[in-house]
């Protein structure tokens, strides 16, 4: 979800700016997480906030995610797999967010997990190198500032590229 269909980073930057006055420019975030830039006490406050769960309820949707996924559903059985167990009390917020923004995805196709190695699927589209490595199928990296320097193939940047990648795999051109 985060950094693939939910714009976690924009909300996280906003929170650090409002609460602690950070004004990071994009170049500073390339290859790094906010945790690498903020003071330890501020990172701990963010973590505590994430554990409360509400943060996940109001994240913006990543540009193009909804229409791309809706079209991909014609060809693929799309599941939303999210490492919710890192913040277990965010499950309700994440579920309600999905219901609002992706009502066309069945709750039965939603997976809240910790370790993505437990997922049996052909492809995993993820921004996180650790999850892509743990996954048993073909992991596709979704570019995010923090993973810009990660060595991984295949990689897509944004939903237009992601959709084209998967349509090509399915032997269809993007409509």
Q: Which residues bind a copy of itself (CB under 8 A)?
A: 79, 81, 84-86, 88-89, 91-92, 95, 106-115, 117-121, 136
CB of 33 to a copy of itself, least distance (A): 19
For a copy of itself, the closer of residues 16 and 166 by Cβ is 166
* CB neighbours of residue 130 within 10 Å: 11
C-alpha to C-alpha distance for 116 and 157, rounded to whole angstroms: 21
CB of 121 to a copy of itself, least distance (A): 7
Q: Are 130 and 146 in contact (CB under 8 A)?
A: no
For a copy of itself, the closer of residues 29 and 93 by Cβ is 93
CB of 160 to a copy of itself, least distance (A): 27
Phi, psi of 22 (to 5 degrees): -75, 140
Is 36 a catalytic site residue?
Answer: no
Q: Are 94 and 101 in contact (CB under 8 A)?
A: no
Q: Which residues are catalytic?
A: 2
């Amino acid at each position: 979800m985060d950094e693939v269909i939910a714009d976690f980073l924009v909300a996280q930057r906003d929170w650090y700016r409002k609460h602690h006055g950070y004004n990071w420019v994009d170049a500073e975030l390339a290859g790094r997480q906010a945790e690498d830039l903020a003071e330890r006490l501020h990172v701990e406050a963010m973590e505590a906030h994430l554990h409360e769960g509400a943060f996940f309820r109001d994240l913006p949707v990543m540009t193009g995610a909804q229409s791309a996924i809706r079209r991909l559903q014609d060809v693929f059985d799309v599941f939303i797999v999210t490492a919710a167990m890192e913040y277990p009390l965010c499950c309700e917020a994440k579920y309600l967010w999905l219901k609002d923004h992706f009502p066309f995805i069945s709750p039965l196709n939603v997976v809240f997990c910790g370790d993505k190695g437990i997922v049996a699927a052909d492809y995993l589209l993820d921004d996180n190198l650790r999850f892509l490595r743990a996954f048993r199928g073909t992991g596709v990296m979704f570019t995010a500032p923090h993973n810009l320097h990660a060595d991984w193939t295949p990689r897509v940047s944004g939903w237009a590229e992601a959709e084209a990648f998967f349509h090509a795999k399915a032997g269809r051109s993007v409509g």
